[in-house]
Amino acid sequence: MLKINNLHVSVDDGQKPILTGLSLEVPKGEVHAIMGPNGAGKSTLSYALTGRDGYEITDGTVTLDGKDLLDMEPEERAAAGVFLSFQYPLEIPGVPTMTFLKTALNAQRKARGEEEMKAPEFLKTARALAAELKMKPEMLKRPLNVGFSGGEKKRMEIFQMMMMEPSFIVMDETDSGLDVDALRIVADGVNKLRSPDRGMLIITHYQRLLDYIVPDRVHVLANGGIAASGDAEFAKKLEREGYDAYAA
Amino acid sequence: MLHKLPNRRDEAWKWSDVSRVVSDDAKGAETAAPLQIFVPEGVTVTRTDGETAANDTTLLKLVSEYAGQVWNIVVPDGLASENPIQIEGLTHGHAQISLTIGKGAKIQLVEHYDGQAGAFVNSHMNIKLGETAVLDRVIVQTDPEDCVRIATTHVTAWANSEIRQHTLAFGGKLSRLETRMAGMGDAVKATINGAYLLDGKRHCDMTSYIDLACPNGHIRQSVKGVTAGKSRGVFQGKFHVRRPAQHTDAEMRHDSIMLSDTSEIRSKPELEIYADDVACAHGNTIGALDESALFYMRQRGIPLAQARAILTEAFLGSVFDTLEDEVMRESLLDKLRGWLA
């Protein structure tokens, strides 16, 4: 279970408070959606959970299965099972996708005291998953995300997610830049990862993605915290009525 | 040493003040370097007296005075060897080398600059590239931090010849690796690439001057560097395209990353063009590792130090993409990784 309690996050060297007392619990096996107007702090939440520099935690706690995440470096959080699917996945020139993935996967395994995955097993798994996501095999040889379209980059995020089998997934605006076909492929991938052992937090501005990945709970992020919560139907109401009712 | 060494008042040496770092008691200041030259079958090495000219530079005068006889390496016309010429022993002192590559010959030259502690090494090499000759030159510099190294090369390239030069340098107390090339025939080709990796108080200066007097020259230069600690990287590059050198196609790039706030990078890219139908460009960047990319990699579980090393290797490694010898390329990348680890 991911447990966020009274989280306060500031940016600009701690000068600008963005989240001011956010509390949220995502039990194992559940998919929760966070919706909210632009500038509400949705991306701030994803970066605070994953430990990006510049997002200063001034108060509150975050634990995953009882482990204090805020005390960990970003790579330690990854090894603990936290995966962030980026809104804008980064291009890493000069590093072939397969090399990157194998390095990352084995760094996580090493940090957990597990045996590293050998090359043949890794290749077999990667090729099978790539086929499942309808990715061209040559994409895996190219430098990570370099020259990929927006849709290809998002698919690559899902691919990495499926390779790493994290215990908690944060998806930041995964639907942006996707056409309907790509959206369906991405959603299929995510739905396959739904499991009783895994929690997910889907951050999205629009309800569209939630037609394909149906959440257990929907929360509105406004005024620095969770302003309202409901079930999957609640997302449709938000889409119809907008966020004005929750604005400051 | 009675001669006046280059100092910061000389424009070409303003960031590499030799006079400040070399004293008369430096190891090798007044001796010849104990050179060892290994050549493949068919290539000859002889010793002859050198010649001096009134307008020789100070460093060349020192070479004439202390290096003893010139080492002459001759690659006969048409010889194509799989095995390289190797030059070792540039550990201290002065050396003068002449390499003549005959028409249509194809050869690799590997130089290892591994100086002794506290040494001064000053070498001059003259390379004559005959028509359609091809030279693959690899320089690996792994001097200790208190070694001063000046390595100057003059290349004379005749029609349709090609030089591909790849340098991997780790600097020293002061290192100046200088390549001066004169394109004397039609359609000469040159790749002059290099990477420098500096830490501590190391200094490395990659200077080049490409002088084109004939048409259809094709020049590609990419120098990349990273500086950590209080080190200093210097790049000076100049393309001089004379009036007859029409249809020259020349690109110069210097890209560098500062890994510390206390390191220093000095860069002077120059184009001097008198021909009116040419494509010449230069570019220069100095930056830091991409913080967003680092975070992305860490989010995937790669520890910070390893993420930095991967990004740095990817950044630098591309200068060796043009090195055809895969085994050599891998060995250079290994040395680079060794530094990053």
* pLDDT digits (tens), chain B, 341 positions: 657 899 999 999 999 999 999 988 888 888 999 999 999 999 999 999 988 877 888 899 999 999 989 999 999 999 999 999 999 999 999 999 999 999 999 999 999 999 999 999 999 999 999 999 999 999 999 999 999 999 999 999 999 999 999 999 999 999 999 999 999 999 999 999 999 999 999 999 999 999 999 999 999 999 999 999 999 999 999 999 999 999 999 999 999 999 999 999 999 999 999 999 999 999 999 999 999 999 999 999 999 999 999 999 999 999 999 999 999 999 999 999 999 98
Interface test with B, best of A53, A72, A75 (most B CBs within 10 A): A75
Closest CA–CA distance from residue A13 to any residue of chain B (Å): 16
- Whether B314 sits inside 8 A of A75 (CB atoms) is no
- Measured CA to CA, the distance from residue B127 to residue B135 in angstroms comes to 10
**Structural domain containing residue B202:** 11-295
- Measured CA to CA, the distance from residue A99 to residue A121 in angstroms comes to 14
The beta-carbon neighbor of B314 closest among A53, A79, A93 is: A93
A66-103: per-residue pLDDT in tens?
999 999 999 999 999 999 999 999 999 889 999 999 99
- What's the CATH number for A75-169? 3.40.50.300
Please report the pLDDT score of residue A244 as a whole number: 85
Would you state the structure tokens that stand for residue B5, as one six-digit string? 């060494």
Would you state the structure tokens that stand for residue B232, as one six-digit string? 């200093």
Question: Of A50, A164, A159, A156, which is closest to residue A107 (Cα–Cα)?
Answer: A164
CA distances from B252 to B163, B240, B280, B301 (A): 15, 12, 8, 37
The reply to whether B135 falls in a domain is yes
The reply to whether B132 falls in a domain is yes
User: What residue spans of chain B are helical by DSSP H?
Assistant: 18-21, 58-66, 291-299, 304-317, 326-340
Asked if residue A41 has pLDDT above 60, the reply is yes
Nearest-Cα residue of chain B relative to residue A87: B296
Would you state the structure tokens that stand for residue A150, as one six-digit string? 């927006």
For chain A, what are the domain ranges?
Answer: 1-22+52-71, 75-169, 215-248
The reply to whether B318 falls in a domain is no
- Measured CA to CA, the distance from residue B228 to residue A187 in angstroms comes to 45
| Span of A40-54, A109-123, A234-248 with lowest mean pLDDT | A234-248
The one-letter amino acid code at A155 reads R
The beta-carbon neighbor of A86 closest among B296, B302, B318 is: B296
DSSP secondary structure letters along A39-88: TSSHHHHHHHHHT-TT-EEEEEEEEETTEEGGGS-HHHHHHTTEEEE-SS
Nearest-Cα residue of chain B relative to residue A76: B301
B288 contact A CB<8A: no
Can you tell me the mean pLDDT for A206-219? 92
Nearest-Cα residue of chain A relative to residue B304: A75
B308 contact A CB<8A: no
Q: Is B290 exposed, middle or buried (0-12, 13-18, 19+ CB in 10 A)?
A: middle
CB of A17 closer than 8 Å to CB of A10: yes
Please report the pLDDT score of residue B23 as a whole number: 85
Interface test with B, best of A69, A103, A171, A172 (most B CBs within 10 A): A103
Task: Give the confidence band of A205 by pLDDT, cuts at 50, 70, 90.
Answer: confident
The reply to whether B202 falls in a domain is yes
Give the residue with greater pLDDT, A185 vs A19.
Answer: A19
Please report the pLDDT score of residue B278 as a whole number: 97
CB of B99 closer than 8 Å to CB of B137: no
The one-letter amino acid code at A200 reads M
Per the DSSP assignment, residues forming a β-bridge with B57 are none
Does the structure's ipTM exceed the value 0.90? Answer: yes
- Whether B300 sits inside 8 A of A79 (CB atoms) is no
Q: Is A218 exposed, middle or buried (0-12, 13-18, 19+ CB in 10 A)?
A: buried
Instruction: Please provide the average confidence, as pLDDT, over all residues in chain A.
Output: 92
Count chain A–chain B contacts defined by CB atoms under 8 A: 71
Please report the pLDDT score of residue A181 as a whole number: 84
Chain A positions touching chain B (beta carbons under 8 Å): 50-53, 73-75, 77-79, 83-84, 86, 89-95, 100, 103-105, 107-108, 111, 143, 160, 164
- Measured CA to CA, the distance from residue B203 to residue B223 in angstroms comes to 15
Please report the pLDDT score of residue B50 as a whole number: 84
Task: Give the confidence band of A34 by pLDDT, cuts at 50, 70, 90.
Answer: very high
Interface test with B, best of A47, A52, A109 (most B CBs within 10 A): A52
The reply to whether B331 falls in a domain is no
Please report the pLDDT score of residue B1 as a whole number: 63
- Measured CA to CA, the distance from residue B262 to residue A132 in angstroms comes to 49
- Measured CA to CA, the distance from residue B185 to residue A113 in angstroms comes to 63
- Measured CA to CA, the distance from residue B28 to residue B119 in angstroms comes to 6
Number of domains in chain B: 1
Would you state the structure tokens that stand for residue B105, as one six-digit string? 């010959």
- Measured CA to CA, the distance from residue B29 to residue B7 in angstroms comes to 17
